[in-house]
Amino acid sequence: MTTSGQRAVAGAGLALASLAGLAAVVAVFLSTAAGQRVDETALQGARIGRGHLIEGALTVLGLVSVVGLALATGTVAVIAFSRRRGDLALAAVALVVGANMTTQVLKHGVLDRPDLGIDTLTLNSLPSGHSTVAASVAVALVLVVPARLRGLLALFGTGTAALTGVATLAAGWHRPSDVVAGYLVVGAWLGIVTIGLAVVRPIREQPLERRVHGRSRPSPAAVLLALLAVVALAVAAIAYWRTLGLDSIARERGDLLLSYGGGAAAIAGVAALLLVAALVTAPQDEPAPRTETLSARGAARSR
């Protein structure tokens, strides 16, 4: 299979995995009483210490706006065009616009939160729009910058996406499943644009030595984020099963904090996985054509 074919397969796998994850989140946390109870317990736990955190949370959330999204999208496009990569500009803009439009359509036109006897607001808030904005911009930046900057931006993007998601929880705007669903929407669109890039701009087959030494080792940032995701999701799973064992929405402070912490851990873990996917699927920086390099060397020698 060619390199482009491998990228297309990876993109398809990412899109399908993200859509399957999104369907699972909807099936469990939106459509079952147990899932709604776990989500609501985390939301109730977020009230603890809210008086100290709300100002900071609202400050973070205030940075996410339609104007801010437009400016961020324009910046991403400018970066790509400055590198003479119109394909990356188109892919990044498609990812940001597509993910955010999908989230709004799902939240307001497709999904509904049924009344299953859980003492909670029946208004659907899944997926989270703020979280989709933060995650889509972070992923788009990783796609368009040079390879040497991607690791640093992936770490920063994970932090900003997770911070935004936890801020929506701390402010009482969203449940943990809303945030995770937003990230999964972005993951699906990352898979789609990865397929598109593989089709529109096939990768030239490189010498075996370059492929082995240039692409065989994962970046330190990807390894670090993968480890973070494993730890965070393990914490989230423990909190989920503990909360799931309760007969009703928790009232004890310890149970509330555990559920709140588990929700925050799930947010951080999925954000980290999303940026790992961005690092893995981001296209290589194309080397200068070999013929041009040889011509330049020959000209230098003739002088």
- As a three-state string, the secondary structure of 128-197 is CHHHHHHHHHHHHHHHHCCHHHHHHHHHHHHHHHHHHHHHHHHCCCCCHHHHHHHHHHHHHHHHHHHHHH
Range with the lowest mean pLDDT among 17-26, 153-162, 216-225? Answer: 216-225
> Any idea how long the chain is?
303
- pTM for the full predicted model: 0.89
Percent of the residues in the chain that have a pLDDT greater than 90, as a whole number: 66
- The residues spanned by each domain of the chain are 3-203+218-285
* CA–CA distance, 240 with 25 (Å, rounded to integer): 13
Count the alpha carbons within 13 Å of 273 in the hemisphere toward its beta carbon. Answer: 21
How far CA 265 is from CA of 122, 168, 205, in Å, comes to 25, 14, 40
Residue 297's contacts (CB-CB under 8 Å, 6 or more residues apart) are none
Range with the lowest mean pLDDT among 41-50, 90-99, 148-157? Answer: 41-50
* CA–CA distance, 93 with 101 (Å, rounded to integer): 12
108-137 mean pLDDT: 91
Please check the confidence at residue 206 and state whether its pLDDT lies above 50. no
Contact, 166 vs 20, CB < 8 A?
no
249: phi then psi, degrees, rounded to nearest 5: -60, 130
Please check the confidence at residue 1 and state whether its pLDDT lies above 80. no
How far CA 58 is from CA of 51, 128, 191, in Å, comes to 12, 15, 31
Please check the confidence at residue 300 and state whether its pLDDT lies above 80. no
Residue type, 184: L
- The whole-number pLDDT of residue 203 equals 55
Which pair of structure tokens corresponds to residue 157? 């993007």
Contact, 144 vs 76, CB < 8 A?
yes
Count the alpha carbons within 13 Å of 267 in the hemisphere toward its beta carbon. Answer: 33
Instruction: Fill in the DSSP letter of residue 283.
Output: P
Which pair of structure tokens corresponds to residue 237? 């799973």
Kindly indicate the confidence band of residue 287, based on its pLDDT and cuts at 50, 70 and 90.
Answer: low
* CA–CA distance, 233 with 266 (Å, rounded to integer): 5
